[in-house]
Amino acid sequence: MPFKDPDAQAAYWRRYHDRNRARRNAQARRRWHESPRTREYHRRYYREHRVENRAREHAATERWRQARPERELAWRLRIAIRKSLTGHPYPGALRLVGLTPEDVAHRLLPFLGGPCPECRVGVLTLRSAEIDHIVPLASAQTNDEVLQLNRLDNLRLICRRCNRSKGARPSLQTVPPP
C-alpha cells in the first residue's frame, strides 16, 4: 500500500484509527494494566498518598459519620451480623439491638446449605450468601428505624445475585429458614 501522496496516506491512517479506535484503546489499556511497572507505581503512589493525607481522609470520614449517623449504625450492625455468622464471639453493635451472636447465628445459619429463598438456584455458602433485609435498610431515616429493621425477623440470607438485583426494594416473599 505505497502512497505517492502524503495527504492520502495521512487520510488513510486517520480512517484506520477511527475505525479501530475501540480495539486499539482496549489493547493499550490491557498492556498498561498488565505492566509490572504500572502496578508497582500505583502501589507506591497510593501508599504515599495514604500517609500524606491520613488526617484529611480521617476528617472526611468523620464528616460523613456526623452527617449520616443512621448509615454508620447500619454499617456497624452489618459488620457485627456478618462476624456473628463466622463464629466471632464479640457482639459489637448487636448489643444495641438486644441480640447476641448466638441469636443471629441461630436465625441465619439454617439458610446455609440450602437454595436461595429468592431464586431457588444454587446452594448458599458463607462466601456466596449476603445478608438481606426483607424490608430494606435504605428506607430507614432515623437510628430507631435502623434498629427496628435489624430485628431477626427482618433478616435472611440470599445469594449475591438476588441481593444485588433486589437493591432497596422490599422483598415480595418472606420465606422462613429451612
CA distance 166 to 178: 21
DSSP label at 172?
S
3-state secondary structure 109-137: HHHCCCCCCCCCCCCCCCCCEEEEECCCH
Give the pLDDT mean for 96-125.
Answer: 85
- Split at pLDDT 50, 70, 90, the class of 173 is low
Q: What's the pLDDT at 59?
A: 93
Residue ranges covered by each domain of the chain = 6-52, 69-166
62-79: average pLDDT:
84
The pLDDT tens digits of the residues spanning 120-169 come to 888 888 888 888 888 888 888 888 888 888 888 888 888 888 888 888 88
CA–CA distance, 157 with 159 (Å, rounded to integer): 7
* Per-residue pLDDT tens over the stretch 14-62: 999 889 998 988 988 888 888 888 888 888 888 888 888 889 989 998 9
pLDDT of residue 11: 92
